[in-house]
Amino acid sequence: MPLTPEEPQIHESAQGPRASAATGRPAPTPRPVPGPRSAASPRPGRPVPGPAKPAAPARQPHPEAVPSAAENRSGEPSEPQLQLIPAPVDGALDAAEEALDLLLETGRAPGEVLVLTTGDLHPWAAHELSFGEASYWAHQDTDDDVFFAHATAVERAKARPVVIVALNGGDDQAVARVLPLARARASALLVVCGDSQLVTTLLGASAAV
C-alpha cells in the first residue's frame, strides 16, 4: 500500500547498532586485577604457550653473574650467588619481572622467590595491601607463590632460596640498607636489577669476587 505524504518512512538503518550507539558510549572494559605470579600464569601480554611447547634450551649464565666467594666442603656455596642485571631506574621492575619469568620457566617453584622493590610497590603488593596488612602478610606464610614486598619491609620478609631486588627508586642510603638484608634472606641466589656499578660499590668486595 503506497504511503501518503504525511506518513514518514522508517528505514531499517534506524534500528540496530547505530540506534544503540546514540544512547551513549559503551562502558570501558575493566582492567584485570593484578595477581601473584606463578608458573601457570604467564606474564600479561604474552601468548599462552601451547601444550606442545618444546623444553627450553639450556641458558648461558648472565654475563654479569657474580659467583659466591667461598664454598663449603660439600661444594654448596656458603653465600648466595649474586647476579647483576643492568637496568635504569624506570626499567628495573620490568627487568625483575623478566628475571622472575626466566626462573619460573626453568623450574624454580613460585614459592621459592621473594621480589623486593626500592621505589614504587609492585602492583600485586599494592593491591593486596588494600585489603589490610594482616591479609597481605598471610600470603607470605603459605609459601606457595611468589611474594612481593617493599624494601622497607625486608626485615619482616621470610628467607627464600631466591630474592630478586628491583632498584626502581629510593636513594643510595636506602639501597645500601636493603642489599645486605636481601642477601641474608637468599639461600641460593640474589638477583639485583639496577645500576650494576652502584650495586658493586655498595656490596664492596663481596660483589667483586
Q: How confident is the model at residue 8 (pLDDT cuts 50, 70, 90)?
A: low
Q: How confident is the model at residue 201 (pLDDT cuts 50, 70, 90)?
A: confident
Give 20-58 pLDDT, tens digit per residue: 444 445 555 444 445 555 444 444 444 444 444 444 444
Helix (H) or strand (E) segment spanning residue 128: helix 123-129
d(CA 16, CA 12): 8
Residues 6+ apart with CB under 8 A from 186: 80, 114, 159, 160, 161, 162, 163
Give 125-145 pLDDT, tens digit per residue: 999 999 999 999 999 988 899
Percent of the chain with pLDDT over 90: 51
Query: How many other CB atoms sit within 10 Å of the CB of residue 195?
Result: 19
Q: Which residues pair with 81 in a beta bridge?
A: 189
